[in-house]
Amino acid sequence: MSDKVIEIPSPARLRLDSRALVENWQNLDKKSGRAKAGAAVKANAYGLGAVEVVRHLQESGCTDFFVANWQEARELQAEIKSGSRLSVLNGVRQEDMAYAISSAAKPVINSLEQARRWQSTGLPCDVMVNSGMNRLGVNLEDLSQFDWSTLDIDIVLSHLASADEDCPQNADQLEQFTAALKHLPGKRTSLSNSAGIALGSAYHFDCTRPGLSLYGGQQRPELAGSIQQIVFPEAQILQVRMLKPGDKVGYNANYTADHDHPIAILAMGYADGYLCGFSNQGIFYHDEAKLPVLGRVSMDLIAVDISNAPHLKESDWVTAEYNLPLASSLSGISQYELITGLGNRYARYWV
């Protein structure tokens, strides 16, 4: 047998717009005022491919990157250039220490236990303050229980819980974070995520940490007009068929034809992250022709009405409507879930 690897092209792919990614970061950096925008690239850059995202953003001037854990840090270590910094948001467990002390990435210290664990290394770190979200971070009242001057702290940070809405919690967290800074000798400070950037200069500090909006998400109206769509899911047609009145489509017959019309069966489904919320709601396009989703989204297949593009045939490609705010409105699924859930079966290509 031949040792030659035979390539099998994927029938579903993600077209990713590098220009829009860079311009999103530039706009978020500008909206950050005197602060410098970093980039949250955890969860494989929200599903789009962290290695390529970091390469594009570093070339554009981004120097601070944030991942969730040390596995993600290791995947990016070779990409981080001199002058750039990589922070691990989930901190440093005992099990992480062997790798962490050999890595150029910084742990974000989230507890007194982690602070004591890292203290003897003499290596740089960040510190997370719990300003009211009660997820990760050191409580304000516990800060006096440790001598923070024994750590080489780069960024003191916290995380806004409700920045996507106007509510008292935002001001409460700002007040708690500002109070915590009196106890922590960090070189830099950071509070705002994507939505927090839109709250104004009081929330910007030295470094902002946009995530979702880098990748096309818009959590607040102030971001509209400056954030572009990044990801365009594309699916190949596996079969074209003609429905007659009374014909039913998909599981539980959630669509019944009332007239003759053609449909296409696409090689995409909820296993790829195109979720069931798009059943009878989603839209695909071929050029300008709108192709509504018919019936229930299956694990691997979707049916669409191709009455507006009857020339379509097997092996042709169509594009999902995946503008995140609009797709969220159509499906009832959060923008975060829509983008991070895009599966590994997609081929990913940058244009």
pLDDT digits (tens, 9 = 90+) for 47-83: 999 999 999 999 999 999 999 999 999 999 999 999 9
What range defines the domain where residue 62 resides?
Answer: 18-218
SS3 36: strand
CA distances from residue 116 to 40, 101, 120, 132, 151 in whole angstroms, order as listed: 26, 14, 8, 23, 9
Take residue 166 and report the two structure tokens written for it: 């106007």
pLDDT digits (tens, 9 = 90+) for 81-113: 999 999 999 999 999 999 999 999 999 999 999
User: What is the number of domains present in the chain?
Assistant: 2
In a domain, 9, yes or no: no
What is the C-alpha separation between 159 and 173, in angstroms, rounded?
8
Confidence band for 1, pLDDT divided at 50, 70 and 90: low
**Are 280 and 155 in a shared domain?**
no
pLDDT digits (tens, 9 = 90+) for 289-299: 999 999 999 99
The pTM (predicted TM-score) of the whole model is 0.95
The bridge status of strand 283-286 relative to strand 317-320 is: antiparallel
- What integer pLDDT is reported at residue 3 of this predicted model? 75
**Are 308 and 183 in a shared domain?**
no
In a domain, 8, yes or no: no
Instruction: State which of 218, 253, 285 marks the end of a domain.
Output: 218
What is the C-alpha separation between 219 and 216, in angstroms, rounded?
10
125-146: average pLDDT: 97
Residue partners of 153: CB distance under 8 A and separation at least 6: 124, 125, 126, 127, 184, 185, 186, 187
Helix (H) or strand (E) holding 239: strand 231-243
**Are 205 and 335 in a shared domain?**
no
In a domain, 104, yes or no: yes
Residue partners of 162: CB distance under 8 A and separation at least 6: 169, 170
In a domain, 142, yes or no: yes
| Mean pLDDT of all residues belonging to the chain | 97
**Are 57 and 111 in a shared domain?**
yes
Percent of the chain with pLDDT over 90: 99
Residue 36 is a catalytic residue: no
**Are 82 and 207 in a shared domain?**
yes
**Are 185 and 324 in a shared domain?**
no
**Are 290 and 325 in a shared domain?**
yes
255-282: average pLDDT: 97
Confidence band for 14, pLDDT divided at 50, 70 and 90: very high
**Are 243 and 301 in a shared domain?**
yes
Instruction: State which of 218, 243, 261 marks the end of a domain.
Output: 218
Among the listed residues 217, 171, 177, the one whose alpha carbon sits nearest the alpha carbon of residue 194: 217
Does pLDDT of 2 surpass 70?
no
Among the listed residues 177, 281, 273, the one whose alpha carbon sits nearest the alpha carbon of residue 231: 273
Query: Which CATH number belongs to the domain containing residue 341 in this structure?
Result: 2.40.37.10
**Are 205 and 286 in a shared domain?**
no
CB 155 within 8 A of CB 189: yes
258-286: average pLDDT: 97
In a domain, 4, yes or no: no
200-215: average pLDDT: 98
**Are 256 and 196 in a shared domain?**
no
In a domain, 6, yes or no: no
Q: Which of 30, 81, 251, 313 is catalytic?
A: 251
The sign of the torsion formed by the CA atoms of 162, 164, 167, 170 equals positive
In a domain, 1, yes or no: no
In a domain, 143, yes or no: yes
Instruction: State which of 218, 247, 268 marks the end of a domain.
Output: 218
**Are 248 and 324 in a shared domain?**
yes
Does pLDDT of 173 surpass 60?
yes
**Are 57 and 205 in a shared domain?**
yes
Take residue 319 and report the two structure tokens written for it: 């594009």
Residue type, 83: G
Residue 274 is a catalytic residue: no
Does pLDDT of 138 surpass 60?
yes
At residue 107, φ and ψ (nearest 5 deg) are: -75, 145
